[in-house]
Amino acid sequence: MSASELAVGSRIGHPKFGSGVIVSVDANYYKIYFSSVEEVKTLARDYEGFTIEEAKLPDFPMLTMKDVEKAIREALQATSERAPLVPLGGKWMGGKLIIEPYDKSLQSKEIPIETFFHKVVMVREKLRVLEQNINNHPKLDDEDRVGLQQYITRCYGSLTTFNVLFAYKEDQFKGSGKD
């Protein structure tokens, strides 16, 4: 076993500090408690001046900061209210939405179409979550559920104007007039 692959609990010998126990390991360094000086010293994992007295194998592979960042990113994506990837119609890519007021003294608003589309998709996802909450709510009776479901369906119907933005028909809004 290489001296750079030791786990917490391994015992090493150091020419100056004597026998020590590894108490912490990161990607580049060991923190080692030396009883002779009653101190924790930090040594590079590739330091060649110590000898292995008792090696302990790591219980799990060494994580790098990149591994931790990736795991956090994946966990946040899995638990956040992010909309699924719904493709924007190709003809709208790179486009912009321009809202101009009737009064020319007022400033117009320009929004990248991708930003606007993302917000439309988020509204749809929030409506879906609301629908699930209504269906699973323990205090609503069937009549209340149906009434709220019809209201949500009418909301979907109001959003059908934006169907022109979707790349695929199956991603589009469907109101009460469609199957």
Q: How far is Cα 64 from Cα 28, in angstroms, rounded to an integer?
A: 10
In a domain, 177, yes or no: no
Q: Using H for helix, E for strand and C for coil, what is the string for 4-35?
A: HHCCCCCEEEECCCEEEEEEEECCCEEEEEEC
Distance, first Cα to last Cα, the chain: 65
**Whole domain around residue 140: which residue ranges?**
90-171
Q: Are residues 101 and 75 in the same domain?
A: no
Spell 51-62 as b/e; 16+ CB within 10 A means b. Answer: eeeebeeeeeee
CATH of the domain at 23: 2.30.30.140
pLDDT tens, residue by residue, 13-71:
999 999 999 998 887 889 999 988 989 999 998 888 889 999 887 766 666 667 777 77
Is the pLDDT confidence value at 178 over 50? no
Q: How far is Cα 22 from Cα 3, in angstroms, rounded to an integer?
A: 12
Q: Are residues 5 and 27 in the same domain?
A: yes
pLDDT tens, residue by residue, 71-124:
777 776 666 555 567 888 889 999 999 999 999 999 999 999 999 998 998 898
In a domain, 105, yes or no: yes
Q: How far is Cα 12 from Cα 54, in angstroms, rounded to an integer?
A: 7
Domain end call among 26, 52, 80 = 80
Dihedral angle sign, alpha carbons of residues 82, 84, 85, 90: negative
**Domain count for the chain:** 2
CB atoms within 10 A of CB 69: 10
The tokens describing 16, both together, are 């100056």
